[in-house]
A and B are shown apart, each in its own frame.
Chain A
Amino acid sequence: MSEAPAAPRTESADTATTTGAGRLDLLLVPPRPRTGWRVLPARVVAMCMVELQKLRHDRTELYTRAVQPALWLLVFGETFTRIHAIPTGGTPYIDYLAPGIIAQSAMFIAIFYGIMIIWERDAGILTKLLVTPTPRSALIAGKAFAAGVKALIQAVVVIAIAALLGVAMTWNPLRLLGVVVAVVLGSAFFACLSMTIAGIVLTRDRLMGIGQAITMPLFFASNALYPVAIMPGWLQTVSKLNPLSYQVDALRGLLLGTQAHLALDYAVLVAAAALGIAAASSLLGRLAR
């Protein structure tokens, strides 16, 4: 279908001039504007729909993005399970690792959104969205939660891989709902972090460098791979400031039933996402210029 652009092209170019404006009655009436609080959820839904539609048309990203977490679990997880080097408090290391890898792969997806927003700026897509009755915060929130939706699909893939590797995780629907919320909030924060940086550096090349530079440290300076307790003091501090740690803590508590500080975790994730949306939307104007 994508192979034959020439034939239908001419055909529809010809009919174009003749058909013209036939029935346009609906295009004469402006839609009734949503107001107040209804705007934000409507825009978020619109952005998430775009994300899902794109995934439906091209699933390659879904498959390629499954490779890395699979390898982490398979190579790193299996090896470290054998050598018992990391004190996990009784849980097998691969079980301990799985929630960390869910959070990591969600973060990697979200970090890409800054690059995407610059790409959309260059392509004129962002420009056009900015001329719609969409407040900048709603646009950013839409993108952030679209990242969350994409990360969620990724999380399902990782959970499936982990299940194949024999990780025993919960099937309690309430806990899974908690997982959904944690994944979405965490991804929203990291998407906003990268869109904020995009608003500062403004070019794709610079952002790629920064993105590369921060993702791995964010991953390692968290409790995704090992407990915070075994880190040196300064790293513990960094880890405490890292929202990824709270996301992993929540995921681990919900999926494995380990001890977790769920209230604190969600409070931090909500605050981080809100802060991220505020920061990214205040810098969005720089991308519009």
Chain B
Amino acid sequence: MTTDDKREPVPAAGPTPAPPSPHAPLSSSSAPSSPSPHPDAVTCHALRYAFGETKAVDGVDLSVRTGEVFGLLGPNGAGKTTAIRCITTLLPVPPGMVRVFGHDAAKERMAVRRLLGYVPQQLSADAGLTGRENVELFARVFDVSRRERAARVTQALEAVGLTDAAGRLAKTYSGGMIRRLELAQALVSAPRLLMLDEPTIGLDPIARTSVWAHINAVRAATGMTVLVTTHYMDEADQYCDRVALMHHGRIRALGTPDELRAALRARRRAAHTSSPTATPAPSTPSAPSRSSDAAPTLEDVFRDVAGSGLDEQSGDFRDVRSTRRTANRVG
């Protein structure tokens, strides 16, 4: 968390060997304070944000390590998008709460924005422009010089496989293509941190896979850090190095998907041994038949750490409506 000044270049060490597995039990918002030699890409310190009475984000401590794919998971209304919007400087936060590669999101907004590529939850490409023009706009507003602009835009479009469709108006694109176009828009400025808010929401499975394939290819080629929110637990499991499970504005668990599953297994086993008559985990109604040794999914972990009442509270009317709207535009 205080890694701002430690910037020795260290060869990429992959997903950092994390603290021992049961580190992410119910103790919410426990920041991983393992002293990483990398400067952290994102550091949130007691991040709070309220819309009037509603505490959307309620004390989040979080470090995203440089080079990893970090997944912020949770149901609609968990506070994921609000947290993302605080990190992107869209929502005003007090100084000291959010740092991006050491830059304070409150005091050094422009510096933070130059490091970010942001893809919001809505399909945000301009339908009245061609794919190429959409990317060009972002090249312009990130001060790409005129000399370099055409080549850079071409590379960004190529990186997401839209070279052939670049001359078509974005309104003729499919949902998956628009997502990839947005990815190109974000990539054209060579960001160090790519922030994707529900990148695959409303997409069909093929398009989802394709979007992720491009995210991974670009990451492999550029080594950029990716912070992604999703409510698809399977995606997080498959593509994220580490995940944080968020519920009601707090982080309920944090670690690699394997760690989280192992922790749940351990908890279930503990519950088993202490009270052999009880069902493995009382708060996992979805998997009562499963033995405690069966590999639990991230969803099981989530149900376990979020407690009961999940189904009643997953997102208010507004969330659902905006999700539907996005889904509609995706077609």
Contacts and interface: CB of A to CB of B under 8 A. Distances in A.
A16 B142 contact: no
Interface SS, A side: helix
Interface in A123-150: 123-125, 127-135
A88 B141 CA distance: 48
B176 A13 contact: yes
A288 interface: yes
Contact of B140 (A2, A22, A42, A125): A42
Nearest to B182: A128
A54 interface: yes
A26 B189 contact: no
Given A27-B190, A124-B123, A128-B118, A21 B141 contact: no
Given A12-B165, A16-B210, A26 B142 contact: no
A16 B214 contact: yes
A131 B177 contact: no
B158 interface: yes
A9 B116 CA distance: 29
Interface stretch (B31-39, B87-95, B288-296): B87-95
A27 to B, nearest CB: 5
B172 A17 contact: no
Contact of B142 (A15, A17, A133, A289): A133
B155 A33 contact: no
B174 A31 contact: no
Given A16-B160, A26-B155, A128-B120, A21 B221 contact: yes
A1 B168 contact: yes
A30 interface: yes
Residue from the set B161, B180, B188, B218 with the largest chain A CB neighbour count within 10 Å: B161
A34 interface: yes
Interface string B109-140: 01001101011111111101110010011111
Contact of A49 (B130, B140, B174, B176): B140
A20 interface: yes
Nearest to A127: B120
B262 interface: no
A59 to B, nearest CB: 12
A84 interface: no
Nearest to B210: A16
Contact of B92 (A15, A134, A285): A285
Contacts of A20: 159, 161, 213-214, 217, 221
Interface string A32-59: 1110000100110110011001100110
Given A5-B174, A128-B120, A133-B143, A50 B210 contact: no
Given A8-B164, A132-B138, A16 B180 contact: yes
A19 interface: yes
B190 A9 contact: no
A58 B155 CA distance: 27
B222 A28 contact: yes
Given A13-B176, A131-B113, A131-B116, A46 B161 contact: no
B113 A133 contact: yes
B143 A34 contact: yes
Residue from the set A23, A43, A133 with the largest chain B CB neighbour count within 10 Å: A133
A124 B120 contact: yes
Contact of B148 (A2, A31, A50, A54): A31
A9 B175 CA distance: 10
Nearest to B124: A124
Contact of A128 (B91, B124, B128): B124
A67 interface: no
Given A31-B148, A133-B114, A2 B210 contact: no
B156 interface: yes
29 contacts: A1-B168, A2-B169, A12-B164, A12-B177, A17-B209, A17-B210, A20-B161, A26-B151, A26-B155, A27-B155, A28-B190, A30-B189, A30-B190, A32-B145, A42-B140, A49-B137, A50-B126, A53-B130, A54-B128, A57-B169, A124-B121, A125-B124, A128-B118, A128-B124, A128-B182, A134-B141, A135-B110, A288-B90, A289-B90
Given A2-B172, A128-B119, 8 more contacts: A22-B159, A24-B218, A24-B221, A24-B222, A31-B189, A57-B169, A123-B123, A131-B116
Interface of A: 1-2, 5, 8-9, 11-13, 15-17, 19-34, 39, 42-43, 45-46, 49-50, 53-54, 57-58, 122-125, 127-135, 285, 288-289
Interface of B: 51, 88-92, 110, 113-114, 116, 118-126, 128-130, 133, 136-145, 148, 151-152, 155-156, 158-165, 168-169, 171-174, 176-177, 180, 182, 185, 187-192, 206-207, 209-210, 213-214, 217-218, 220-222
Those 4 A-B pairs whose CB atoms lie nearest each other, nearest first: A124-B124, A124-B122, A16-B161, A20-B217
